[in-house]
Amino acid sequence: MEKKRHNVWYKVIISAVILVAVMALSCCLGSVKIPVKDVIGAVTGLTEVSKATDTIVNKVRFPRICMAALVGGGLAMIGAVMQGLFKNPMADPSILGISSGSAFGAAVVIVFNINFVFHGFTGTYLGAMAGALLAWFLVYNIAKISGEHDLNSTLLAGIAISSILSAMITLLMTLHRESMEQVYLWMLGSFSNSTTQRTIMMAGVTAIIFPILIFLAPRVDVLKLGREAATGLGVSASRTTGILLCVCSVLLAFCVANSGIIGFVGLIIPHCVGFMRVYKMRGKLVMCFLVGAVFTLLCDTLARTLIAPGEIAIGAITSIIGAPYFLYLMLKNLMRERRMR
C-alpha cells in the first residue's frame, strides 16, 4: 500500500513539472515569439525586459495560460467525480445542465445587446454565471422533490433542463440571426477574454473547492460500493451526493462562464488517468487536475498559434483530439470484453 502511494505522488510530481514546462512554452508561443529567458524575466521580475514584452507576457498571455490551466483542471476533476458518483464512464460535466444554463445566460446578454461592466466583469460573463446558477437551482430542487438527493432524479432533471435551455438558445439564435455567429463562437469556447481579475477570481474559487473535493474523495470510493454498503460504513449517500453535486456545480459555473463550453476534457481525462493506474479517487482528482490543465493548455496554445494572428475556437480543438481518442478507448474496452467472453 505504501509503495502504491509513493507511485501516485511520483506521477503527481512528474505531471506538475510537465505542467510548468507547458506553461512556459505556451508563454513563448504566439503571433509574437518571445524567448524563454524574457518570459522568465517578465514573470519573476528578476531581469529587465522591454515594456512590450512585459505587457504581452503579464497582461495577455500569462492570465490566459493560468485560466486555461485552471478551467481544464476543474473540468477534469468534475468529470472524475461525475463518473464516480453515477458509476458511468460516459458521464461528464454537461449532464448537470450547468453548461446549457451558462450558454443560455450568455446568449440572452449577447442577443439583447446588454452591454455593461460591473467591477471589471462584462455582461456576458455575469449572464453566463447567472444562467449556470439558475440551471443548477432548477435541477437541484426538482431532484429533491422526493425528499432525498437521488442520482437518477438528478440525472433526469439535468437532461430535461439542458434540453429545454438548448432549445431556447436555438430559438434565440433563429429569431436574432444577426447575433447567431457571436453566440455560436462563445459556445465553442475561448480564453481570449481572460483578464488578470477573472483569473484571480477563478484561482480563488479553485483554491476553495479543490480541498473540499480532496476531503470528500474517499467517500466517492465508498459510494461506488452501493448505498447500503455506504450507509453501513457511516457515509450518508444522500448528503454526500448533494454536497458533491453542489460543489461541482459552482466550480463548473465558473469554468463555463470563463471559457464557454469546452467538450471532452471532463470525459476523457479521467480515463487517461485511469490508464496511468491511478484508481483511488483522492489521487485521481489530483492527477486529473494536472493532466486536464496540461491538455487544455496545449489545446489553447494550438488554438491561438495555428492561424496566428487569428484564433480557432478551443472547443473545436478539444473535439478533434478528444473524440477520436475517446472512440479508441471505447473500441479497446469493447474488444477486451469480447475476449473475456
pLDDT at res. 181:
82
pLDDT at res. 334:
79
b or e along 314-341 (b: 16 or more beta carbons within 10 Å of the residue's beta carbon)? bbebbbebbeeebeebeeeeeeeeeeee
Q: What is the CATH number of the domain that holds 282?
A: 1.10.3470.10
What is the pLDDT confidence band of residue 234, given thresholds at 50, 70 and 90?
Answer: confident
Residue 72: name the closest of 314, 302, 327, 316 by CA.
314
pLDDT at 149 over 70: no
pLDDT at 148 over 80: no
Q: Which sign does the torsion angle of CA 251, 255, 260, 261 carry? A: negative
Give the pTM: 0.90
Q: Determine the average pLDDT of the residues in 206-234.
A: 86
Q: Which of 75-79, 221-225, 335-339 has the lowest mean pLDDT?
A: 335-339
Contact present, 253 and 102 (Cβ < 8 Å) = yes
pLDDT at 147 over 70: no
pLDDT at 319 over 70: yes
Contact present, 268 and 296 (Cβ < 8 Å) = no
Q: Which of 21-30, 112-121, 164-173 has the lowest mean pLDDT?
A: 112-121
pLDDT at res. 207:
96
pLDDT at res. 64:
95
**Distance separating alpha carbons of residues 280 and 327, to the nearest angstrom:** 25
pLDDT at 146 over 70: no
Non-local (6+) Cβ contacts of 94 within 8 A are: 100, 162, 261, 263, 266
Quote the mean pLDDT of the chain.
87
Give the phi and the psi of residue 135 in degrees, each rounded to 5: -60, -45
What is the pLDDT confidence band of residue 328, given thresholds at 50, 70 and 90?
Answer: confident
31-34 contacts, C-beta under 8 A, 24 or more apart: 31/305, 31/308, 31/309, 32/56
Residue whose C-alpha cell is 489530483: 286
CA distances from 43 to 19, 22, 23, 206, 293 (A): 16, 15, 12, 22, 19
Residue whose C-alpha cell is 490543465: 293
Q: Which of 16-20, 77-81, 314-318, 325-329 has the lowest mean pLDDT?
A: 325-329
3-9 contacts, C-beta under 8 A, 24 or more apart: 7/277, 8/278, 8/280, 8/283, 8/287
Q: Which of 34-48, 77-91, 141-155, 232-246 has the lowest mean pLDDT?
A: 141-155
CB atoms within 10 A of CB 245: 23
Residue scoring higher pLDDT (226 or 160): 160
Structural domain count of the chain: 1
pLDDT at res. 227:
73
pLDDT at 290 over 60: yes
Query: 185-215, pLDDT tens digit by residue?
Result: 888 888 988 889 999 999 999 999 999 999 9
**Distance separating alpha carbons of residues 268 and 290, to the nearest angstrom:** 14
Q: Helix 281-305 and helix 2-28: axis angle, to 10°?
A: 20
pLDDT at res. 335:
83
Helix/strand/coil for 179: helix
The H or E element spanning position 239 is helix 237-259
Query: 3-43, pLDDT tens digit by residue?
Result: 555 578 899 999 999 999 999 999 998 888 898 888 888 88
Residue numbers of the domain that contains 257: 2-340
